[in-house]
Amino acid sequence: MEITLYHWLTLSSFLFAIGIYGVLTRSNGLMTLMSLELMLNAAALNFVAFNRYLAPSAISGQLFTVFVIAVAAAEAAVGFAIMIRLYRSQGNIELGQATLMKN
Amino acid sequence: MIEAIAFYTLSTVVLFFALQVVSSALIMRSVTSLICTLLAVAGLYLLLSAELAAAVQVLIYVGGIVVLAVFAVLLTSRIGAMQPHLSPVGKLAGALASTSILIITLSLISIAPFTDSINRLTVDTGLHSARDAGLALLSPAKGGYLVPFEMISLLLVAALIGATAVARFASHSTESEQSEGGHQ
Q: How far apart are CA B173 and CA B183, in angstroms?
A: 16
Residue from A69, A86, A92, A93 to probe the interface with B (highest B Cβ count within 10 Å):
A69
Q: What single-letter DSSP state applies at residue A55?
A: -
For B1-83, give the CATH class: mainly alpha
Taking CB atoms and an 8 Å cutoff, what residues of chain A touch B48? 8, 48-49, 51-52
Neighbouring residues of A51: CB distance < 8 A, sequence distance ≥ 6: A58, A59, A60, A61, A62, B48, B50
The reported pTM is 0.87
Q: Does domain A5-102 have CATH number 1.10.287.3510?
A: yes
pLDDT tier at B79, thresholds 50, 70, 90: low
For the cut 50, the answer to whether the pLDDT of residue B44 exceeds it is yes
Q: ipTM, 2 decimals?
A: 0.91
For the cut 80, the answer to whether the pLDDT of residue B120 exceeds it is no
Reported as a single tens digit per residue, the pLDDT across A42-63 is 999 999 999 888 887 778 888 9
For the cut 80, the answer to whether the pLDDT of residue B127 exceeds it is no
Lowest mean pLDDT, pick from A27-41, B38-52, B138-152: B138-152
Lowest mean pLDDT, pick from A55-59, B36-40, B67-71, B136-140: A55-59
Taking CB atoms and an 8 Å cutoff, what residues of chain A touch B123? 56
* A60-90 vs A29-54: helix crossing angle, rounded to 10: 180
What residue spans define the domains of chain A? 5-102
Q: How far apart are CA B159 and CA B154, in angstroms?
A: 8
Average the pLDDT over B158-175 and give the result: 74
Q: Is A95 helix (H, G, I), strand (E, B) or coil?
A: helix
